[in-house]
């Protein structure tokens, strides 16, 4: 399928309903441009905002409110997380979304479809039928992946971890269709860790102190304020960097406080790759994107918050692999930080585990897999980062 410039078309399906769906798609698109230049016509479609029936168009706005009731969210996640439940959900919803999905398919002809959202596969594949372009699912949850991610008719399912691979097999997918590639993140997060002291100097942080980086995602979620206060009150021998994200009120409250240790407060920042490479300890909620970015930076983690269901496995993954600790209360966070500050070798061991788990080549590997599905000659411009596959045997 060609556009007016005679370029093959790639369609990305996403929605801003948590899970870093947009950022994953953008990371893959960036990797395509880095490796292949502008040889493709690439489109991003928000499956809810752009095409869903009226009542579903507001799902991206409703999602942050829904996850603020974590117990209800977790219960719903677990009750629906089976192959049978997934089929019931998609079959029940299809009559309601059929017309919208047909419009999406009709208005977006393409050579390959890449879905980074668990709700896209079933209705799209049903409308497309047999004579269709290749359909690739890129799973953006790390470990506790929902059954809706795994549709047996998808041509490929690209997953971030071996556990996600095993879940795909358990949910009935053909092992030949599932590949472990890692979670795609922006190329800026894939630069090898550099000289932390130089980065601290550039950012204006104390070079002689360990730096604790405290984040709560783009929206400043989780008990960020209480955690920051507890760290400061403990007068730990460290500097504290707080990222309030887009939460302006939180940033203002933090700026009004008098801090007992060197403290630096930021809103939404674009320098997070540098922040991670300059920091010594990351304190964060257990979001898949942040965890993957931290692994690439070789940054040891203390996880203080998780979304029931989809993020529970993230905590087990980080802790079991030795890359971090689970500390759900401000007091336990302070204890964990204090332990790492008193025993630098423990912190260094966790940092080494992070680097061992890192998959900085993920976005570029996914880009290459996508392009391989387009059956015509394509010129590869860049070969940065070796592409390696780690599919379990």
Q: Locate tokens 């570029």: which residue? A: 364
Q: What is the mean pLDDT of residues 139-168?
A: 96
- Looking at the domain assignment, is residue 216 inside a domain? yes
Mean pLDDT of the chain: 90
- Looking at the domain assignment, is residue 389 inside a domain? no
CA–CA distance, 112 with 97 (Å, rounded to integer): 22
In this predicted structure, the answer to whether residue 37 has a pLDDT above a threshold of 80 is yes
- Looking at the domain assignment, is residue 1 inside a domain? no
Q: Are residues 156 and 258 in the same domain?
A: no
CA–CA distance, 192 with 360 (Å, rounded to integer): 9
Token reading at 126: 């049903």
Q: Are residues 226 and 90 in the same domain?
A: no
Q: Are residues 147 and 215 in the same domain?
A: no
pLDDT at residue number 264: 97
In this predicted structure, the answer to whether residue 391 has a pLDDT above a threshold of 90 is no
pLDDT band of residue 3 (cuts 50, 70, 90) is: low
Q: At what angle do helices 288-297 and 312-320 cross, to 10 degrees?
A: 20
For residue 80, the enclosing domain spans: 9-185+360-372
In this predicted structure, the answer to whether residue 69 has a pLDDT above a threshold of 90 is no
Q: Are residues 116 and 174 in the same domain?
A: yes
CA–CA distance, 248 with 254 (Å, rounded to integer): 10
Residues 6+ apart with CB under 8 A from 342: none
Question: What is each CA distance from 81 to 65, 85, 146, 162, 192, in whole angstroms?
Answer: 21, 7, 5, 19, 37
Q: Are residues 201 and 76 in the same domain?
A: no
Closest C-alpha to 303, from 319, 292, 289, 280: 319
Q: What is the mean pLDDT of residues 243-265?
A: 92
Closest C-alpha to 123, from 78, 92, 147: 92
In this predicted structure, the answer to whether residue 198 has a pLDDT above a threshold of 90 is yes
- Looking at the domain assignment, is residue 293 inside a domain? yes
Q: Are residues 159 and 224 in the same domain?
A: no
pLDDT band of residue 265 (cuts 50, 70, 90) is: very high
Q: Are residues 180 and 288 in the same domain?
A: no
CA–CA distance, 227 with 290 (Å, rounded to integer): 18
- Looking at the domain assignment, is residue 382 inside a domain? no
- Looking at the domain assignment, is residue 387 inside a domain? no
Q: Are residues 332 and 273 in the same domain?
A: yes
Q: Are residues 60 and 136 in the same domain?
A: yes
CB crowding 378-387: b at 16 or more within 10 Å, else e = beeeeeebeb
Q: Locate tokens 């209480």: which residue? A: 226
CA–CA distance, 53 with 49 (Å, rounded to integer): 9
| Full-model pTM | 0.90
State phi, psi for 199 to the nearest 5 degrees.
Answer: -65, -45
CA–CA distance, 318 with 325 (Å, rounded to integer): 7
Q: Are residues 173 and 239 in the same domain?
A: no
Q: Are residues 368 and 221 in the same domain?
A: no
Q: Per the structure, how many domains does the chain have?
A: 2
Three-state secondary-structure class, residue 74: helix
Q: Nearest-5° angle of CA 224, CA 225, CA 229?
A: 115
pLDDT at residue number 149: 96
Summarised one tens digit per residue, pLDDT across range 270-325 is 999 999 999 999 999 999 999 999 999 999 999 998 988 889 999 999 999 999 99
Closest C-alpha to 41, from 112, 106, 144, 133: 112
Mean pLDDT check: name the lowest of 20-29, 61-70, 280-289.
61-70
Q: Are residues 368 and 348 in the same domain?
A: no
- Looking at the domain assignment, is residue 380 inside a domain? no
Query: Domain holding 41: CATH number?
Result: 3.40.50.2000
Summarised one tens digit per residue, pLDDT across range 348-379 is 999 999 999 999 999 999 999 999 998 665 66
Q: Are 28 and 12 in contact (CB under 8 A)?
A: yes
CA–CA distance, 283 with 103 (Å, rounded to integer): 44
Q: What is the mean pLDDT of residues 112-118?
A: 96
């Amino acid at each position: 399928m060609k556009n007016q410039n005679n370029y093959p078309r790639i369609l990305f399906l996403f929605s801003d309903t948590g899970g870093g769906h947009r950022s994953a798609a953008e990371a893959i698109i960036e990797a395509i441009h880095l490796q292949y230049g502008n040889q493709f016509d690439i489109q991003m479609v928000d499956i809810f905002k752009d095409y869903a029936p009226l009542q579903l168009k507001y799902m991206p706005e409703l999602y942050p409110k829904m996850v603020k009731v974590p117990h209800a969210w977790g219960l719903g996640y677990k009750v629906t997380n089976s192959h049978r439940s997934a089929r019931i959900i998609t079959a029940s919803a299809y009559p309601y979304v059929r017309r919208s999905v047909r419009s999406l398919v009709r208005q977006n002809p393409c050579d390959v479809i890449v879905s980074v959202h668990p709700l896209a596969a079933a209705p799209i594949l049903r409308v497309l039928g047999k004579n269709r372009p290749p359909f690739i699912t890129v799973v953006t949850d790390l470990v506790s992946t929902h059954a809706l991610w795994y549709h047996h008719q998808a041509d490929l399912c690209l997953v971030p971890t071996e556990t996600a691979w095993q879940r795909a097999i358990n949910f009935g997918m053909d092992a030949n269709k599932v590949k472990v590639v890692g979670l795609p993140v922006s190329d800026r997060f894939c630069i090898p860790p550099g000289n932390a002291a130089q980065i601290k100097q550039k950012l204006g942080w104390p070079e002689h102190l360990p730096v604790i980086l405290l984040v709560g995602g783009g929206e400043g979620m989780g008990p960020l304020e209480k955690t920051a206060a507890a760290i400061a009150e403990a007068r730990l021998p460290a500097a504290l960097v707080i990222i309030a994200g887009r939460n302006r009120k939180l940033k203002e409250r933090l700026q009004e406080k008098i801090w007992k240790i060197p403290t630096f407060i930021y809103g939404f920042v674009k320098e997070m790759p540098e922040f991670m490479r300059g920091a010594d300890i990351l304190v964060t909620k257990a979001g898949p994107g942040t965890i993957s970015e931290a692994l690439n930076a070789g940054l040891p983690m203390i996880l203080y918050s998780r979304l029931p269901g989809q993020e529970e496995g993230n905590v087990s993954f980080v802790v079991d692999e030795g890359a971090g600790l689970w500390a759900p209360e401000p007091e336990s966070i302070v204890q964990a930080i204090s332990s790492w500050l008193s025993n630098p070798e423990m912190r260094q061991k966790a940092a080494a585990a992070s680097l061992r788990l890192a998959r900085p080549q993920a976005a570029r590997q996914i880009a290459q897999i996508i392009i391989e599905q387009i059956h015509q000659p394509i010129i590869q411009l860049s070969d940065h980062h070796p592409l390696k596959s780690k599919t379990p045997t």
